Amino acid sequence: MASYNLDVYMPVLILMALACITVFGALFIGMFLRPSNPTELKQTPYECGEEPIGSAWSNFNVRFYVVALIFIIFDVESALMFPVASVFKKFVDLGMGGAVLGSFLLFIGILAGGIVYCWKKGDLDWVRSYQVSETVKKED
């Protein structure tokens, strides 16, 4: 039975290999079927008919990064919660549900406190609220 152990992952590998084969195969076959006339106009990036000015990356807003940071924290939290959630039922059947529920709620509560903190401090706003108030001050 030990050989069954890892045969489980065969479809995963086969599917990934199939994805690579599909993409490269279709592009390879297409190489013979499709035209190839690179002109100057085709090589420039699309800018609704105008000439693109400057590089593509102007100003990066830190809000994307903040979202990614908060996401990572919650991702790790959910990774820790998955094993606890899957054995929760067993503990309830054994009768120790109260203690497990308590620890589970404590875990979630601490992280809910974190998200409340971020909310109150304005980290979750897409446009920071004091930017708005700063422009108001400038108009004075």
Partner 1 sequence: MFGSTLFIISALLTLGGAFMVVASKNLVHACVFLLASLFGVAGLYATLGADFLAAIQLVVYAGGVVILMLFAIMLTGGSQDLSNKYGLNKIPGMGSVRTYIAGGLSALVISLVVLKILANVIKSAQVGELPEFTTTVEKIGTMLLTDHILAFEISSILLLGALIGAAVISRPRKG
Partner 2 sequence: MNSVVSYFSQTEGYQAIVKTLSELLGFDATSLVAFIVFGAVVTIVVTVLATIGGLGTYAERKISADLQMRQGPNRVGPFGILQFLADGVKMILKEDIVPRQADRFLFNISPLLCLLGVFASLAVVPFSSGFTLVNLNVGIIYLLGVASIVGIGIFLGGYSSNSKWSMLGGMRGASQIISYEIPVTLSILAAVVIVGGLSFGAATEAQGGLPHQWLIFHNPFTFIAFFVLFIGSLAEANRAPFDLPEAESELVSGYHTEFTGMKFAFFALAEYIEVFVLCGVASALFLGGYKVPFDLGTGAIFSEKLGLHPMLAKNIGQLLQLGAFFTKALLLYYVVIWIRWTLPRLRVDHLMVLCWKYLTPIALFNLVGVAVWMYAFDGQSFFALIAKMGAAAGGHH
Residue 46 or residue 82: which is nearer to partner 1 going by CB?
82
Distinct helix (H) and strand (E) counts, the chain? 6, 0
Q: At what angle do helices 62-94 and 97-120 cross, to 10 degrees?
A: 170
- 121 near partner 1 (CB under 8 A): yes
Binder of partner 1 out of 37, 55, 58, 135 (CB under 8 A): 55
Give me the torsion for CA of 17, 21, 24, 30, rounded to 10°: -160
Minimum CB–partner distance for residue 139 and partner 2 (Å): 22
Residues of this chain, 48-67, that bind partner 2 according to CB under 8 A: 48, 52, 55-58, 60, 64, 67
Q: Which of residues 15-54 bind partner 1 (CB under 8 A)?
A: none
d(CA 22, CA 43): 26
- 18's contact among partner 1, partner 2, none, with CB below 5 to 8 A by partner kind, is partner 2
